Structure 1
Amino acid sequence: MKKSLLAVAVASAATLPVLAQADATLYGRLHFQMQFDKNQDMNIANAGHRLGVKGESELDSGLTAFYQLETQFGNDTDGTSTEGTTDANLKVRHANAGVKGDFGKVTVGRFENPMYKTVVGDVFERTSAAFTQTQERIGNSLAYESPSYAGFNGYAAITGDGGNEDYTDTNGVKHSYKDVDGYVAGVNYEANGLYAGVGYAQSQYEKDQDSYDKHDVSVGVSYTYNNAFVGANYEHNQQLATSAGATDGSIDVYDVAATYTIDKTTIGLNYSQANPDNADKLKRSLVGVYHDLGGGADVYAEYYNVNGAAEQGASDYGIDALNDGFTVGYRVKF
């Protein structure tokens, strides 16, 4: 939906000329699922309704400015099905701006973590990338991505949360907060259907009195040939204790995915496994069928089987408990 439609929607807004000049695009989706999980009631769920605006404009220097603001609605997730209205429970997924040109791209704000591209197994829906440790998006961040040279490109990002001052505790020990709370760096290679990437992230958010200094390495490889896709990624996440009562820990995550498309129908298979050093293995298998209905709409069905400790999850690594289940989804994009 290009700027002409957006202009109609905000015709009374004082910022209309600015939006028009920026060639703004309004976009979004409505996404519903019928979820049938073992030992649970059926749930007709909001699977992530989104609304966003993005655009670009040419600067006097010849560079291109860009921006994106994308929200997600969490309505109908709090037991209000019999009420006339429900809270939107609005969350922000993307809120960023930047500039790009022959030199590459610089982005500031909240945006997709450039390292997440290595998570090549995340191509499904309900429980896709269930054990992944790499953050999908990062906020309070500044990133640079290089142009591609012979198929290679690199990236680096820093995060600065702010909000605290240096202080001296009751024992006379001085504590100095870091300006940079985390960083990400990595490199990708893409050519002739082959993708390979490796990324590294380190973070310790002291303003939240985080008990861990976290280190994450992610490696992904995928290959696309005609209608077939296969990908695998590996992650190693290490948490080093930085406060009393916390203990060191690490987890290894493996994710393998394959899809094949026939006309407008895609069949997918996925296997995920997580090996925490202080708990049993977590395993999840998935099979799905996805059909493009045209007009921005699609429908799909997924069955997922959970084994081992996945039923209890692994809270130390942000992994929620999972159950065997079957999901049918319907989504309309605009």
Structure 2
Amino acid sequence: MKLVKSCIAMTICTLISTTSFAAEQDAVKSKEVTAKAVNEFYGKLNISIQSSDEDGEKFNDLKSNASRVGVKGKYHLDSGLTAIYQLEWQVNVGDDSKDSLTARNQWIGLRGDFGEITAGVSDTTLKVSQGKFDLFNDYEGDLKHLFIGENRETNSITYKSPTYKKLQFLASYIISDEPEQSDPYSIGVYFGDLNLKKTNFFLSAAHDENMPVKFVGVNSSGATNTLSESLANTRVTGMYKFGDIRLGAMLVDTEVLDLGKSETGYAVNASYNIGSKIVAKLQFQEFAGADSISVGADYKLGKETKVYAWYTDREGDEVIGANDFTYTLAEAGKYFAIGMEQKF
């Protein structure tokens, strides 16, 4: 009987040991696979009900606010390099057509001790240089509605240097498909963390040269004209966070040659965390004699979920160019919205 019990005990121990060893081996293999390839599916839905007043015309609309979906990842190579990629699309849930997807950042590249280099469709260095400055990004208070130069370019080659003592250099080179146009480029230097997570400050300076831009003009007879021009643009951005308060300031200098127009502008903003769930926001922007003020608040329902409300009052900006064509650089209007954002 004792022999039978001993055999049973030994069998159980052997099974446990074998199962444990197999589990450890599976875990090791899983870690090796994870180390070799990391892929992430992500996105966000940001839907709002918006009331607009433009030129005395009032209307309501359901806005998608640059909702997006994408996949990104990295593959660790035997050479010590890492292959990286991103494919992202904007989703317009308010569009009933079949073309509700539009391309956003889509690129492939390599990362190593030298830094990171990518090729494809990318935000320019100047656009990225704002970090998380814009408190009303993707809404009517977005900086792009007054400032010129928020570009995402195709045929783009982007380089990011390694970070050294919180300092990083970035550059974008765009291969122009216009034979007579000089290739655009965008360069910048960053100091601190653009997400304000690793540091409580962020400073950046960036410059665009030969960046393409288009304006649509109308003259007194009703004729229209599209002006294609190269842009020279310089931007300096600063943010600082202390406690529950975050402050930011931005200066811009923009030159549009064909319009004979060189303008400066600025933006300032502040946000305040009220407890752990509410963020109050205020942003003012001025450019070429026009200005925009936005106020709003976010309420967190969860880590990846929030509801919000905001109001924007924006003055327009028009320029008269050759042959008395009036080019609208920014539309005037008053806007109010309430909405919800869900990240995944």
- Please state which band the TM-score falls in when normalised by the shorter chain: 0.7 to 0.9
Larger radius of gyration: 2
Aligned counterpart for 1:303 among listed residues 303, 306, 311? 311
Assess if the C-alpha contact under 8 Å between 1:152 and 1:188 holds in 2: yes
5+ residue gaps, structure 1, are 1-17, 81-85, 165-176, 242-246, 276-280
The verdict on how the C-alpha distance between 1:213 and 1:161 changes in structure 2, with shifts beyond 3 A counting, is closer
Paired residue for 2:278?
A: 265
The verdict on how the C-alpha distance between 1:313 and 1:34 changes in structure 2, with shifts beyond 3 A counting, is farther
Q: Distance in 1 between matches of 2:240 and 2:252?
A: 19
Deviation at 1:45, TM superposition (A): 2.2
Output one character per residue of 1:69-104: Cα deviation in whole Å (capped at 9) or x when no partner: 000123434xx5xxxxx3233210011011112221
Paired residue for 2:244?
A: 227
Structure with the bigger percentage of strand: 2
Q: Distance in 1 between matches of 2:241 and 2:329?
A: 29
Deviation at 1:210, TM superposition (A): 6.7
Deviation at 1:139, TM superposition (A): 2.0
Aligned residue type for 1:145: K
Give percent identity, aligned residues only. Answer: 26
The verdict on how the C-alpha distance between 1:28 and 1:76 changes in structure 2, with shifts beyond 3 A counting, is same
Aligned residue type for 1:298: K
Length-normalised TM-score, structure 2: 0.74
Length-normalised TM-score, structure 1: 0.76
The verdict on how the C-alpha distance between 1:106 and 1:19 changes in structure 2, with shifts beyond 3 A counting, is same
Output one character per residue of 1:34-74: Cα deviation in whole Å (capped at 9) or x when no partner: 11122312212222221111101101111111100000123
Assess if the C-alpha contact under 8 Å between 2:36 and 2:77 holds in 1: no
Q: Distance in 2 between matches of 1:251 and 1:198?
A: 17
Assess if the C-alpha contact under 8 Å between 2:285 and 2:292 holds in 1: yes
Q: Please state if 1:252 is matched with 2:254.
A: no
1:90-129 mapped onto 2 (5 Å cutoff): 90-119=101-130, 121-125=133-137, 126=139, 127-129=141-143
Paired residue for 1:201?
A: 208
Output one character per residue of 1:115-163: Cα deviation in whole Å (capped at 9) or x when no partner: 2243364122422213122324222111111112222111122100336
Aligned counterpart for 2:184 among listed residues 179, 182, 185? 182
Paired residue for 1:173?
A: none
Aligned residue type for 2:277: K
Paired residue for 1:274?
A: 287
Q: Please state if 1:24 is matched with 2:39.
A: yes
Paired residue for 1:288?
A: 296
The DSSP-based 3-state class of the residue aligned with 1:147 is: coil
1:75-154 mapped onto 2 (5 Å cutoff): 75-77=93-95, 86-119=97-130, 121-125=133-137, 126=139, 127-129=141-143, 130-154=145-169
Q: Distance in 1 between matches of 2:60 and 2:316?
A: 18
The DSSP-based 3-state class of the residue aligned with 2:87 is: strand
